Structure 1
């Protein structure tokens, strides 16, 4: 996100892309270890003689010296830096990170305030040199496979040919026995299988193994020969690699995944998440599920079968409720079939990565943020990686979590009260990246706020915020960071680089969330409320301006306004009205910001959508308009599309029955088609049992099953039945169940029952169809009860 210093490359220089970073304490001090992908193959760099750095209050120097009198390996240095409230700070430099940790304990006990002691040594080294992913170095001496670079600096993005290997394992249902390990990529489609005969089967190389230990050993040997940069899979870290680690431990075989010939290093997240992280020297493990979520993809289920079906139109070779039993049968009776299934899973993962350009997205994100390729989440870390080096150069150190205390509560986005009803010609005007554009326009910035606080207020030199905040017009940092990202995204769009454009959008839009998060060291409600409250003002004043132009605003939601264009409102078409309003509103805001605040507007209003038909419902059981829930028809070329927001058809906690019913009903109503007999026929088909497969609820267990002590909703009741039957649902599992006359019952158990409980059709009519129908039918002079009461009396 920061422009690196440009260097001329000498003939001896090499360039590479950063795969992994690590640090370790050594006899010669703190050492950093970086693994790079280069055009000449992998390179391992070791940078020795480093120090672990943090900061302390200069006024407490004597207290620091007293507290650390018995500790060796540290030094201090006076610096031209201060903390956010103007206190001068000095630097504490420790020759080992272990020494710094011990020093912090002693200083905390002595009441000496420190800052930035939580920044990892490798990250600090790289960020202070504005290195994100691509580096240039001059090779120095080599020792034990590592190069000691004479210089290391940022460089332009290099051309990448990353070596990618897809990995998947098959085990017994209880996870106690390893059956096979599948590999796909780098020219192989191979499966190592315990007890199999070595042979080729339909393009799959099946390699027989004498034992689980032999299978693991052959896999690790193949990994060293293939030498991938990237390992990909589905739940790769949480299942496949973790299980391989356990199998290796049981077999007393070193799990030598790393390019350094060592085992990976594991870390498990605390709490109930059970999420695991792995560090593999020189290799990156990328999980498809986590990358999809990071790239803001949404699926009803992130299972490989579900995602591959939607993305590729293809799926797993075994996909039914008894998959575990079928895998066991194939392992015992048809090993070539299991090998085909195993390698097909690998292939599906590779194809999803290729189709959605997930690796390109991960690379683009790393180059923008400086975060490791495999970093999950990391919005706060990405912000700090970009911001800290600039902050230091501006003369400040970063505050610690909790340093800023305030009773001010920063509100969320503004959501306007809606006007419920059915409309024709509703246009949506959308503020492009509203919060980033507010930061740019009103120069909102933590450092800019600190600078303004220590200076005498001058209206010509400051921009007003909210809740007593104001910001300097010169010396700010964040607006410039966002401006560069904005320009980079526009360039990526022009170059049709979708992964880069998408990565920039996610990062840029995350910055408000970071500033508004109490988990960020820069959190200050006066700063983040200056963003959200300005957003409120912009939506409200935009509404007022639009209404002066003779149009009604029927809804507004954080960064957009919905404008009704009645048939007699203008001689122009609705689309022409939308384009004209957007252009004029942009001009109005430019003039407003110049005249009222003395700044240049970065606000950008776009005419986003034209709904030919539009419906805004009421809150259920009232006449008040709802929020964040609507539907309408838009045109995409010659095709008309039905769009839902927040309604049942796009919510997975409703049954397929309700979702399809809503979709078809709205089409009929919007198109002016007869609907009464159709509704009655739909209800009749439900009562006749013709739609039983559409009556399945599907909900996820958000906690461990035994944690549901008091409140046990239907899906938990169904999960408890599965647990009693020996299936042991886990936190995060999806539970599929029907509502019967005897309550919720899991799909798998009811299908297996010799005398299943009858389904409670009355429940589905009352809880699924009626709410959907009565949200919109009253606007067409009808109701669900009016249409089907006679049917229900007969039934």
Structure 2
């Protein structure tokens, strides 16, 4: 039937196939979710394409004719040109593998094809401005559980998808040689409260008692795997979620399936899993499951900029959901799971199912599915692809560049000027202050790009017209025609009319404002991440548009803006005590400590308004451009400390703390870069800093608190808070000289485990908990020696205390010495 459907992209694949007539061609396959269920779009006889400068085409034809089958490729001139103004030929292939062969052959002869690195599926979508949602017009045929259409017409749409979601978790023997059970929870995004639950367990219902409805016993692994595969195909999920689900659960299931010679057909249309090994880590794999997304909770949280001390399911669940696994002992968990498998399979099933539930609840609480959808719609990246900021930039930029008449350059082989100047960080004025305002430029780097027309195409057009040359003097380029061009730095000049990126920023900016207006948190966060990635993309030599004049024109402009803003504020009689990239910290000297918070807020808002007006006037008069710079009154600190660098009188940078006043005029302690927010300090040190600063900020007594804490430490009352937790980032054997304390503890733990016939735990890295003892660092699980309290006080308590006490003309030693003196 001929019809029109809206859908959202799930997976994309390309393949070189041979049809029934023996002809080979490139096929593109796109799986979508729609209101009528899954849909497969197949595009057959699709050309693969790259581009060659026309002055090389004759040589290229000779090379290709000698190695690529005659009827497998052709070329033709097109109207696009390079950034240098050279004419272009497009070269088409009927198979992607021939394109790869041709790319290699031409490079060997010194001819470098352009845009030869773009996957055919990505090119198909980007040239149609399709990212996530699109409308399909074609003839749909009913297949086994899905609709299929061949070579339909497509265009972008605003379709909002719903998904069938499957949370997956497996339980195995601690030795890794046997599968115990597979847990599944299935739900649909419009009705997440309605779930189906399954646990497939190896064994029999030996006790003949009434078992839970979700528990299914299987007499052997083959039966367990067969029932699992059948259930997945019946549920037919769009998305499968889990915790380390690809590199543990699915890898384990693949090994079991291979051992049993069972095809692991978990994809739609009974397709197999497609594995690719990571280029940088031989133990890390990338999984494609045709027709289904696989989203790992850890990677998805990180991509959404969530941060946790540990990304273990137990730790994240406790922090997000305030509950954890049913078996909480990490070191003995494997042993307890085996014990449950042997003695209480129903309890193991409950544990397995709860892990599935924890993953699903975390995804719901953090809106990860919604975030992944919005990120895909914005970037054009697959929902299960993390990172990829350069590819996301290409997806949005290249189709507009082509329509402007240009082909993109390749990634530079030997880029010049890598490492543009960073954000401007002012010298700070250390001390304790009353009433500090933080004024923050909203998305400073995106707003600089938009305001000053910073853009790869705009740069090419600007230097072409103004005949400027690259420099490294970090000064603004001198030009006469400011009606048509905007000066950058280091010889950069940008066209006001012929540019692309400022408009992309403008569209995203408007979309984010709309999202924030309607409280669409996931959308707002996805847009923020994308906009802020553009500066990094332009500054990386892995970007095809890299030119050091682009990122330096952003950061050096930021330096000027922050420096000038500081001067403007100080002209009004205030003191700027610190500034960092896009923020300035303003001290309101002379105001009473207990002045009404609303009065301070009014000062901050009026100051921000005056600065925005000044910048609007200045930029129009100086450059004839509209200002998109927007400084906002961000925070009022009733009390604020800017510490010194340890062991110095010089003010620190990126480290401060304060008592902030929120919108409801309630106080809140804020720490930046200090020990409280650093995981390499013990919980006691962090707790101590928060309480000490709180007391001082509120003008409460603090000397007795310090003395009492020291007494408690020596009494052993805080031993559970004196545990370090640190990550081992390399293999233990790689640490040979200058072995840090946490690695010493890990090596001792491995020795003890070996003596107890336990498997290695830290030999490939990981997280270690340890204490400092009178015998040196020891792992918590094998702690034998007394804790070295003097060392803890010297390294953990005294530095924190003195960081604030010296502003009060006292010190940790002076306070403690008085305590000791009482007993002399």
TM class by shorter-chain length? over 0.9
SS of the residue 2:231 aligns to? helix
2:548 is equivalent to residue 548 of structure 1 = no
In the other structure, the counterpart of 2:17 is: 26
Are the counterparts in 2 of residues 408 and 526 from structure 1 also a CA contact under 8 Å?
A: no
Q: 2:742 aligns with which of 691, 705, 715?
A: 715
Residue 396 of structure 1 deviates from its aligned partner by 1.6
- Residue segments in structure 1 that go unaligned for 5+ positions in a row: 1-9, 751-755
Are the counterparts in 2 of residues 229 and 283 from structure 1 also a CA contact under 8 Å?
A: yes
In the other structure, the counterpart of 1:759 is: 787
2:46 is equivalent to residue 50 of structure 1 = yes
Residue 68 of structure 1 deviates from its aligned partner by 1.1
2:132 is equivalent to residue 170 of structure 1 = no
The C-alpha deviation readout for 1:674-710, integer Å capped at 9, x for no partner, is 1112101101111111101111000111122222233
Query: How many Å separate the matches in 1 of 2:175 and 2:446?
Result: 49
Assess, with a 3 A threshold, how the Cα gap between structure 1 residues 219 and 555 changes in structure 2: closer, same or farther. Answer: same
Assess, with a 3 A threshold, how the Cα gap between structure 1 residues 492 and 114 changes in structure 2: closer, same or farther. Answer: same
Using the size of structure 1 for normalisation, the TM-score is: 0.95
Assess, with a 3 A threshold, how the Cα gap between structure 1 residues 409 and 297 changes in structure 2: closer, same or farther. Answer: closer
Query: More deviation in 586-595 or 140-149?
Result: 140-149
Are the counterparts in 2 of residues 139 and 147 from structure 1 also a CA contact under 8 Å?
A: no
SS of the residue 2:153 aligns to? strand
In the other structure, the counterpart of 1:3 is: none
Are the counterparts in 2 of residues 19 and 34 from structure 1 also a CA contact under 8 Å?
A: yes
Q: 1:498 aligns with which of 505, 517, 521?
A: 521
SS of the residue 2:381 aligns to? coil
SS of the residue 2:76 aligns to? strand
2:418 is equivalent to residue 419 of structure 1 = no
SS of the residue 2:270 aligns to? coil
In the other structure, the counterpart of 1:369 is: 379
Query: How many Å separate the matches in 2 of 1:418 and 1:552?
Result: 11
In the other structure, the counterpart of 2:605 is: 579
Assess, with a 3 A threshold, how the Cα gap between structure 1 residues 227 and 253 changes in structure 2: closer, same or farther. Answer: same
Query: How many Å separate the matches in 1 of 2:673 and 2:765?
Result: 23
Residue 110 of structure 1 deviates from its aligned partner by 1.3
Q: Which portions of structure 1, spanning 4 or more consecutive aligned residues, are displaced by more than 4 angstroms?
A: 141-146, 198-204, 568-572, 790-795
Assess, with a 3 A threshold, how the Cα gap between structure 1 residues 482 and 46 changes in structure 2: closer, same or farther. Answer: same
Query: More deviation in 403-412 or 708-717?
Result: 403-412
Assess, with a 3 A threshold, how the Cα gap between structure 1 residues 792 and 729 changes in structure 2: closer, same or farther. Answer: farther
Q: 2:636 aligns with which of 610, 613, 617?
A: 610
Query: How many Å separate the matches in 2 of 1:486 and 1:732?
Result: 42
Are the counterparts in 1 of residues 635 and 661 from structure 2 also a CA contact under 8 Å?
A: no
The C-alpha deviation readout for 1:294-340, integer Å capped at 9, x for no partner, is 11111111111111111111111010131111111111111111100
Query: How many Å separate the matches in 2 of 1:45 and 1:250?
Result: 34
In the other structure, the counterpart of 1:111 is: 110
Assess, with a 3 A threshold, how the Cα gap between structure 1 residues 301 and 385 changes in structure 2: closer, same or farther. Answer: same
SS of the residue 1:253 aligns to? coil
In the other structure, the counterpart of 2:803 is: 775
In the other structure, the counterpart of 2:59 is: 63
In the other structure, the counterpart of 1:359 is: 369
In the other structure, the counterpart of 1:180 is: 181
Query: How many Å separate the matches in 1 of 2:285 and 2:685?
Result: 37
Query: More deviation in 251-260 or 467-476?
Result: 251-260
2:49 is equivalent to residue 40 of structure 1 = no
Assess, with a 3 A threshold, how the Cα gap between structure 1 residues 125 and 327 changes in structure 2: closer, same or farther. Answer: same
The C-alpha deviation readout for 1:99-122, integer Å capped at 9, x for no partner, is 011111110111112111110010
Residue 85 of structure 1 deviates from its aligned partner by 2.8
In the other structure, the counterpart of 2:285 is: 276
Are the counterparts in 2 of residues 135 and 152 from structure 1 also a CA contact under 8 Å?
A: no
Residue 499 of structure 1 deviates from its aligned partner by 0.8
Are the counterparts in 1 of residues 2 and 139 from structure 2 also a CA contact under 8 Å?
A: no
SS of the residue 1:491 aligns to? helix
2:158 is equivalent to residue 157 of structure 1 = yes
SS of the residue 1:739 aligns to? strand
In the other structure, the counterpart of 1:619 is: 645
Cα RMSD between the aligned structures?
A: 2.0
What is the number of equivalent residue pairs in this alignment?
Answer: 781
Residue 357 of structure 1 deviates from its aligned partner by 1.1
Query: How many Å separate the matches in 1 of 2:170 and 2:387?
Result: 26
Query: How many Å separate the matches in 1 of 2:679 and 2:351?
Result: 29
SS of the residue 2:139 aligns to? coil
Residue 730 of structure 1 deviates from its aligned partner by 5.2
The C-alpha deviation readout for 1:409-459, integer Å capped at 9, x for no partner, is 411111110000000000000000000000000000011111222224633
Q: 2:776 aligns with which of 740, 743, 748?
A: 743
Q: 2:705 aligns with which of 678, 688, 704?
A: 678
Are the counterparts in 2 of residues 444 and 531 from structure 1 also a CA contact under 8 Å?
A: yes
Residue 127 of structure 1 deviates from its aligned partner by 0.5
After TM superposition, list the pairs within 5 Å mapping 1:477-496 onto structure 2. 477-496=500-519
Are the counterparts in 2 of residues 420 and 615 from structure 1 also a CA contact under 8 Å?
A: yes
Are the counterparts in 1 of residues 184 and 353 from structure 2 also a CA contact under 8 Å?
A: yes
In the other structure, the counterpart of 1:390 is: 400
Assess, with a 3 A threshold, how the Cα gap between structure 1 residues 614 and 333 changes in structure 2: closer, same or farther. Answer: same
In the other structure, the counterpart of 2:477 is: none
In the other structure, the counterpart of 1:4 is: none
Residue 137 of structure 1 deviates from its aligned partner by 1.6
After TM superposition, list the pairs within 5 Å mapping 1:312-351 onto structure 2. 312-320=321-329, 321-351=331-361
Query: How many Å separate the matches in 2 of 1:305 and 1:728?
Result: 17
Assess, with a 3 A threshold, how the Cα gap between structure 1 residues 127 and 239 changes in structure 2: closer, same or farther. Answer: same
Query: How many Å separate the matches in 2 of 1:515 and 1:147?
Result: 40
Residue 355 of structure 1 deviates from its aligned partner by 1.3
Using the size of structure 2 for normalisation, the TM-score is: 0.92
Are the counterparts in 2 of residues 31 and 49 from structure 1 also a CA contact under 8 Å?
A: yes
Residue 138 of structure 1 deviates from its aligned partner by 2.2
Query: More deviation in 318-327 or 84-93?
Result: 84-93
Query: How many Å separate the matches in 2 of 1:601 and 1:664?
Result: 44
